[in-house]
């Protein structure tokens, strides 16, 4: 079983839609969680951290459920520019070993 699993998608949604991605992780000792964004043929970049209490950054909301070992990302009012692959990241092995999920591809169309 992979340490971090995501639905690969693609999710094809119209502009303005709300879309949610989930991610599950296998190591219950994992300490920190993040979402990264990767544009086509580019490098991944940090989108936001994920906290147990949930956190919001504009149209993006991230949540963590430690009991069920899953992480979610909600994007409201989707924009064309949100089209990208969203990577779930789990930190294990102390605070410095970052394990990436395979990513969920989002395509927002007019």
Partner 1 sequence: DAGVIQSPRHEVTEMGQEVTLRCKPISGHDYLFWYRQTMMRGLELLIYFNNNVPIDDSGMPEDRFSAKMPNASFSTLKIQPSEPRDSAVYFCASKRGQPMAGELFFGEGSRLTVL
- If one asks whether residue 22 binds partner 1 (CB under 8 A), the answer comes out as no
Question: Which among 35, 36, 37, 33 is positioned nearest to 53, based on CA atoms?
Answer: 33
Pick the closer one to partner 1 by CB: 22 or 49. 49
Write each residue from 58 to 97 as x if it is in contact with partner 1 (CB under 8 A), else as -, in one continuous string: -----------------------------x-x-x-x-xxx
Please state the closest distance from residue 49 (CB atom) to partner 1, in A. Answer: 6
Phi, psi (deg, nearest 5) at residue 101: -75, 170
């Amino acid at each position: 079983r992979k340490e971090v699993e995501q639905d690969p998608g693609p999710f094809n949604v119209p502009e303005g839609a709300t879309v949610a991605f989930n991610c599950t992780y296998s190591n219950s000792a994992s300490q920190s969680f993040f979402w990264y964004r990767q544009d086509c043929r580019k490098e991944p970049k940090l989108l936001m951290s994920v906290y147990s209490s949930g956190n919001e950054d504009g149209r993006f909301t991230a949540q963590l459920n430690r009991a069920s070992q899953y992480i979610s990302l909600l994007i409201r009012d989707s924009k064309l520019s949100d089209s990208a692959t969203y990577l779930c990241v789990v930190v294990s092995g102390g605070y410095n070993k970052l394990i990436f999920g395979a990513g969920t591809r989002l395509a927002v169309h007019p």
